[in-house]
Amino acid sequence: MKRLSLAAASLAMLMAAPLAAQDRTADLLRDLSNAAGPPGFEEPVRKIMVERMKPLADELRYDGLGSVIARQGSSGPRIMLDAHMDELGGVVRRATPDGFLTMQMLGGWLDQALAGQRWIIIGAKGPVHAVTSIRDIHLAQADERGALIKRDAVFLDVGAKDAAGVAALGLSPGDPVVPDSPFLDLNGTGNYAGKAWDDRVGCAVLLLAMERLKASGHPNQVFFTATVQEEIGLRGARTSSAIIKPDIGIAIEGGVTGDSGGARPEESQVKLGAGPGLFLYDTSALPNRKLVALVKDTAASAKLPLQLDLVQGYGDDSAEMQTANGGAPTVNLVVPARYTHVHTGVISRRDFDQTVDLVVALIKRLDAKTVERLRDFTPE
């Protein structure tokens, strides 16, 4: 018994240690990562963003889909700094007669990431824990064991014995579903594990940059924009860009690393812990070349590392900002992240801090003359 008690005490200390060591920034990242907010159900994330933005903004408003637009400054170029609040998730489709639930996925999930996982369903009576089904290895035939489990064969198990039991838990079709993956300081390494780094890490960059720019001042009107429904078609970026009409657009995203094993060099060259990233290409957008050059020069002047990447099969809000107001120069800056679009990703605190530094330094350089030059396409 004593040995068991000592083991339990050691486990408790191990679990508590990362929390005790957390600072204000880690607390923010934890709160944003843990908040539930699949596309169309971003309320918990929006609450965090609005509470932090309101004291720092000269004006705060919303677009018709629920994106938050916080303006700082009343003159100068219109700079749109964007991060999206939504995460990959799902919604309940129906309850089966034997008490399981089927799920409509929201966003670009890999089928192999769905089975055998823990989830939280936000029902009428509050959060309900669930696990997704998976074929038991003792029942699976040899040819099944290495096969992909398709999403249509995955069911949510909430412990109910029938459809009435599901209803008694307050669950019904359309209820949002999110991964159950709490924030964790990964063994004191300075790397943080958690869900929804795409794009809660961008939301955190947005908030800390807003704080610093409020204190230091800047030569612009900056529209700090937390958008909705990015994962199902960049929808919030489209509606908020129509309101803001940006002169310059900067998206802040969770990037894609190629250092987690199995990646081919042509897929991604970015590494965790090696600094902020700048996309030179993705499937949805090409950045403005002059703005890319300015980002590179800003990073070099501030002695900040900068990783360059080109990624297929990736879309971001800069694609919508790019086409607003007759066209706007845009870039996509990223905090590198391992394991995006699954239950648990990993980011580096160092990369995060340096991304905030880069964003602040870049916005301070975007005065009227610089913006005019970036938007001038007159042949030389």
Domain boundaries, the chain: 20-87+195-374, 91-179
CA 119 – CA 130 distance, rounded (Å): 5
The SS3 call for residue 25 is helix
Rounded average pLDDT over 246-268: 86
Least confident residue range of 49-63, 190-204, 306-320: 306-320
**Which burial class, exposed, middle or buried, applies to 51 when counting CB atoms under 10 A from its CB (0-12, 13-18, 19+)?**
exposed
CA torsion, ordered 292, 294, 298, 303, to nearest 10 deg = 50
Confidence of residue 148 (pLDDT cuts 50, 70, 90): low
* Chain mean pLDDT for the chain: 90
Q: Is the model more confident about 181 or about 151?
A: 181
Percentage above 70 pLDDT, the chain: 89
Q: Which of 90, 92, 88, 89 is nearest to 101 (CA)?
A: 92
pLDDT given for residue 144 in this prediction: 61
- Check whether 19 has a pLDDT greater than 50: no
The terminus-to-terminus CA distance of the chain in angstroms comes to 82
Bridge-partner residues for 330, per DSSP?
249
Query: Tokens 């880069």 identify what position?
Result: 358
pLDDT given for residue 7 in this prediction: 40
- Check whether the bond before 297 is cis (ω within 30° of 0): no
pTM score, whole prediction: 0.90
Active site members: 230
Q: Which of 288, 296, 306, 297 is nearest to 355 (CA)?
A: 306
Percentage above 90 pLDDT, the chain: 79
CA 334 – CA 234 distance, rounded (Å): 17
Topology at the third CATH level for domain 20-87+195-374: Aminopeptidase (3.40.630)
Q: Which of 362, 360, 81, 359 is nearest to 222 (CA)?
A: 81
User: Considering only the top CATH level, what class is 91-179?
Assistant: mainly beta
Q: Is the model more confident about 344 or about 138?
A: 344
CA 259 – CA 275 distance, rounded (Å): 14
Cβ proximity of 205 and 352 under 8 Å? yes
